[in-house]
Chains A and B, each alone.
Chain A
Amino acid sequence: MASQEIYYVPDGSKWPIVGTLSLFITFMGGAMMFNNAPGGLYVLILGLATLVYMFAGWFADVISESLAGKYSKQVDVSFRMGMGWFILSEVMFFAAFFGALYYARAFSIPWLGGEGQGLHNGTHEFLWPAFQAMWPMNVMPDPSNYTQYKDTIPAFGIPAVNTALLLTSGVTCTFAHWALKKEQRKALCLWLAATVLLGIIFVGFQAQEYVHAYNDLDLTLNSGIYGSTFFMLTGFHGFHVTMGALMLAVILFRSLKGHFSKKDHFAFEAVAWYWHFVDVVWLGLFIFVYWV
């Protein structure tokens, strides 16, 4: 709600345009690589490097403004809203992939396997007579185009461990927050470090799982709709965990420098929200991708 305070409107800044350019270069590089154009990789790297430069510079500005006390309560609320709605948009991004998973399991595979009589009469009979609907599906309707896998990753192996890790990291993250509120800097840093560590271990396990899937199980992106949804969902999630861990690491670094106070620690909270979001998405993954 509105307040009587004066709102901080920053002076012109170069970071937005640098950010735009960095994304532009990154996309250019990516597109060039897909088209096998020479030099694509270098353009991509240049773009990513500029991106990192932009984030560092932009956040440095924000941090110094914040430390200089320029931000009022109201500015803080704007940041909170920004982060909150950003996370919602991320939720919707994942929703697209969960939707694809649901669709494949509830509609396309059963239809290919002969269900949905009346509507798709003949799909099975005339096009895929040999195909049997199943989930996980390891015999594709047309096996010649796709890699058949030997097995899937069981839920109660690494994934269960990873669930425990991530849930624990959510708890340690909350402990860190409590410590921050009690102004116990040392505890804050320790709990944060634990959170980052758990995140890293998670990603490590995930990487190992991927290696196992590719090398031993022949489970790849090319393994039909199962492989597609499996790797895209876990992959995007893994990417988010990596980003989250990176952000937590920055927060840890800033905590070590004593940036946050009991009242004023939005950056910490934003990253914590993000971390919890990543956590919740994982639960969805664990249940719908690995388990049921």
Chain B
Amino acid sequence: MKGNSKLKSSFHKIILALLLTPFSAIAEWGLNMTQGVTPISQEIYNMHMVTLWVVTVIGIVVFSIMFWSIFHHRKSKGAKAAKFSHSTTVEIIWTIIPLAIIIALAIPATKLLIKMDDTSEAKITVKATGIQWKWKYDYLDEDLTIYSSLDEKSAEVSQRNSGIDPMQSVNYLRDVDEPIVLPINTKIRILTTAADVIHAWWVPDLGWKRDAIPGFINDNWAIIEKAGVYRGQCAEICGSGHGYMPIVVKAVTMDEYTAWVSEKKIEQEAKNNTKDMVLTMEEHMTKGESVYKAQCIACHQANGEGVKGVFPSIAGSSVAIEADNRLRHIQQIIYGKGLMPAFGEQLSDVDIASVVTFTRNSWGNNTGDIVQAKEVSEARSKPNVITAGDSKKEKIAKSKIDELARAR
């Protein structure tokens, strides 16, 4: 696509001159669909180009005739209107020709679709679950689960009027804290599903997107042919964080992949066992802040004030201030409530302890409370005080946990 890139750069210059915007210089240009790194994505790209050319040619032919007529058959040039008003022959011709073109396009499309549908004989299966607003990946063959949310930096910059110029970070809104790692040259199955609303898993370089539907699983596959980092985004509106749930795939060799898996497993082991950790206030605040930025900022905002009418303010909230509400506060994060997702499975005891401490000591919430991991660990086994007394809600909360447990 050499011609294309030339076109790109000259176009680029014109625009630059036109807009005099400084940011053009760093923007990465894209005019066309990516060719991607899987056999399927390559074929899709070809199919796309073929169709594009077909319609372009049809357009040029049809509109050339029209413009010729517009120039020559105008009254100001003394044209006299003819009287004819139909011709069965030409009408048949221009029904048949488009039909033929369409059939010619449908045949390769059908073949490609059938190829895409075949998920058999995959070596590795990963289940991707969309959750408002992050992705959870279960490596089904490995008993490994990771969560992947928007990276802290983007989360901070993306706050309304954050005062930080997004132009400074190349991967603004396209970075995550935990990329999903996959081996190259291996048939990988990716199952998509969701825990709350519909999301869609899309990495353009892999050649497809697939909706993640709560309660159902969709089956897809890919063979990544080139090592590298591939970025995508959630592609189905899923609420206010829809623009903030990117996907990053790191494709590595099989060896690197195996190494990564064992490393992650050890990490996870450690994470599951933090109930005895005791941190100081400072440590809690630093850790809590980073957990907050990664997990909570999308809803409750950097200033802790939330979004009026949708996400309540934590700043000044009785839950986050009153001593009686400590347990409620911890459990709110473990079990979630209403639109707030449950974090109990995702966050370790110490993470929860830190974020609770952090929220109880920020934005004017000056309780001075320190919550330690042990308290969180205990809160996990206590009955849920948030839904206590409300049998229907309790049921729902319980089923959510079951759902998560099942999803695991």
Q: CB atoms of A and B under 8 A apart anywhere in the complex? A: yes
List A residues at the B interface (Cβ < 8 Å).
Answer: 111-112, 118-123, 126-129, 141-142, 144-145
Q: Let me know if A121 and B119 touch, CB within 8 A.
A: yes
B215 is contacted by which of A112, A118, A122, A129 (Cβ under 8 Å)?
A112
Q: Does more than half of chain A's interface fall in helix, strand or loop, or is it mixed?
A: loop
Contact B398 A126 (CB under 8 A): no
Q: Determine the chain A residues whose CB is within 8 A of the CB of B119 once the complex forms.
A: 118, 121
**Whose C-beta in chain B lies nearest to the C-beta of A142?**
B399
Name, among B117, B215, B395, B399, the residue most crowded by chain A CB atoms within 10 Å (CB to CB): B215
Contact A120 B395 (CB under 8 A): no
Additional pairs, 20, CB under 8 Å, beyond known A121-B219, A142-B402, A144-B402: A111-B216, A118-B117, A118-B119, A118-B219, A119-B218, A120-B216, A122-B217, A123-B215, A123-B216, A123-B217, A126-B127, A126-B191, A126-B217, A127-B215, A127-B217, A128-B215, A142-B399, A144-B398, A144-B399, A145-B399
- Complex: how many Å from CA A129 to CA B403? 12
Q: From B395, which residue of chain A is reached at the shortest CB distance?
A: A144
List B contacts of A118 (CB < 8 A): 117, 119, 219
Partner of A119, one of B219, B402, B403, B406: B219
Query: Which residues on A sit within 8 Å (CB–CB) of B219?
Result: 118-122
Is B193 at the interface (CB under 8 A from chain A)?
Answer: yes
Q: Are A122 and B191 in contact (CB under 8 A)?
A: yes
Smallest Cβ distance from A249 to chain B, in angstroms?
41
Interface centre among B191, B396, B407 (most CB of A within 10 A): B191
Q: Across the interface, which residues of B come within 8 angstroms of A119, CB to CB?
A: 218-219
A110 to B217, CA, bound (A): 13
Which chain A residues lie closer than 8 Å to B215 at the CB level? 112, 123, 127-128, 141
| Nearest 6 pairs of A and B residues by beta carbon | A122-B217, A144-B399, A121-B219, A123-B217, A123-B216, A122-B191
Sample 24 A-B pairs with CB under 8 A, ordered by A number: A112-B215, A118-B117, A119-B219, A120-B216, A120-B219, A121-B219, A122-B191, A122-B217, A122-B219, A123-B193, A123-B217, A126-B193, A126-B217, A127-B193, A127-B215, A127-B217, A127-B406, A127-B407, A129-B406, A142-B402, A144-B395, A144-B396, A144-B399, A145-B395
Q: Chain B residues with Cβ under 8 A from A121's Cβ?
A: 119, 191, 217, 219
Those of B358-408 within 8 Å (CB) of chain A: 395-396, 398-399, 402-403, 406-407
Set of chain A residues within 8 Å of B127, measured between Cβ atoms: 122, 126
Shortest A169–chain B CB gap in Å is: 41
Q: Which B residues touch A122, using CB under 8 A?
A: 127, 191, 217, 219
Q: Considering the chains assembled together, what is the distance between the CA atoms of A145 and B396 in angstroms?
A: 6
Most buried by A among B117, B217, B219: B217
Collect the chain A residues with CB atoms within 8 Å of residue B402's CB: 142, 144
Find chain A residues with CB under 8 A from B406 CB.
126-127, 129
How far is it, in angstroms, between the C-alpha of A144 and the C-alpha of B215 when the chains are bound?
Answer: 15
- CB neighbours (8 Å) of A112 from chain B are 215-216
Q: A127 and B216 in contact (CB under 8 A), knowing A118-B117, A122-B127, A144-B402?
A: yes
**B191 cross-chain contacts in A, Cβ below 8 A:** 121-122, 126
Please measure, in the bound complex, the distance between the C-alpha atom of A122 and the C-alpha atom of B218, giving whole angstroms: 8
Query: Which A residue sits closest to B193, measured CB to CB?
Result: A127
For the complex, what is the distance from the CA of A285 to the CA of B265, rounded to whole Å?
Answer: 56
Query: How many Å lie between the Cα of A142 and that of B127 in the bound state?
Result: 20
| Residues in A whose Cβ lies below 8 Å from that of B396 | 144-145
Give the complex CA separation of A111 and B193 in angstroms. Answer: 14
- Expressed in whole angstroms, the minimum distance between the Cβ of B396 and any Cβ of chain A is 7
With CB as the reference atom, state the residue of chain A lying closest to B394. Answer: A144
- Chain B 106-130 against A: per-residue CB contact (8 Å), 1 yes, 0 no? 0000000000010100000001000
B119–chain A nearest beta-carbon distance, Å: 7
Inter-chain contacts of A142 with B (CB < 8 A): 399, 402-403
B207-221 CB mask vs A (1 if < 8 Å, else 0) is: 000000001111100
- In angstroms, Cα B399 to Cα A58, docked, is 52
Q: How far is the CA of A121 from the CA of B125 in the complex (A)?
A: 12
With a cutoff of 8 Å between Cβ atoms, the chain B residues found around residue A128 in the complex are 215
CB closest chain-A residue, reference B397: A144
Chain B residue at minimal CB-CB distance from A123:
B217
* A120 touching B217 in the complex, CB below 8 Å, given contacts A126-B127, A127-B406: yes
Q: Report how far A142 CA is from B395 CA in the complex, Å.
A: 11
Residues in chain B near residue A126, CB distance under 8 A: 127, 191, 193, 217, 406-407
Tell me the complex Cα distance, A123–B127, Å: 11
Shortest Cβ distance from A224 into chain B, in angstroms?
12
Complex CA gap A272/B396 in Å reads: 47
Minimum CB–CB distance for B211 against chain A, Å: 12
The answer for the CA separation of A121 and B216 in the assembled complex, in Å, is 9
Q: Which residues does chain A contribute within 8 Å of B117, judged by CB atoms?
A: 118
Q: Which residues of B contact A145 (CB under 8 A)?
A: 395-396, 399
Please report which residues of chain B, range 257-304, place their CB below 8 angstroms from some CB of chain A when the two chains form the complex. none
A190 to chain B, nearest CB (A): 52
Which residues of chain B are near A129, meaning CB under 8 Å?
406
Q: Which residues of A contact B407 (CB under 8 A)?
A: 126-127
Residue of A nearest to B140 (CB): A126
Cβ < 8 Å to A, chain B residues 116-155? 117, 119, 127
